[in-house]
Amino acid sequence: MDVIHPRCAGLDISKRDATICVRINGAGRRKTTETVTTFGATTRQIVASRDHLAEQKVTCVVMEATGDYWKPFHYLLEDVAGGRGLHTRLDPLPAPRHTAGSRRVAGAVRTVEPTR
């Protein structure tokens, strides 16, 4: 499979917070890495998540949310320092699946999968 976005992120957004999975594809002997972080849903925390994504040099963000909770994240992520902006995309929620472990982490990791 060809890599379209070597640095991408998946966000699983709820009313209280967002779980963010950043995937950085490795080249050569380096392996692909995934880091999962949770940020709150306040403006200050959303700006902190935006700064975190900018530090990781993420170019594409896929969001998964119920209701309108994605809107503050979308608008603040589009406004990245330097006017560069992030390519943001909202994906519809898939049918619920029963997974072992944290559903939020699984949701963030599953959301970032199609952006590879």
CATH of the domain at 42: 3.30.420.60
Q: Report yes or no: 3 and 32 within 8 Å, Cβ to Cβ.
A: no
Give domain status of residue 2, yes or no: no
Q: pLDDT of 90-114, one tens digit each? A: 776 555 555 554 555 566 666 666 5
Q: pLDDT of 6-16, one tens digit each? A: 889 999 999 99
Cα gap 62→114, rounded to integer Å: 9
Give domain status of residue 1, yes or no: no
- Please count the structural domains in the chain: 1
Q: pLDDT of 66-90, one tens digit each? A: 788 989 998 888 876 455 667 787 7
Note the pLDDT of residue 95: 52
Residue-range definition of the domain harbouring residue 38: 7-115
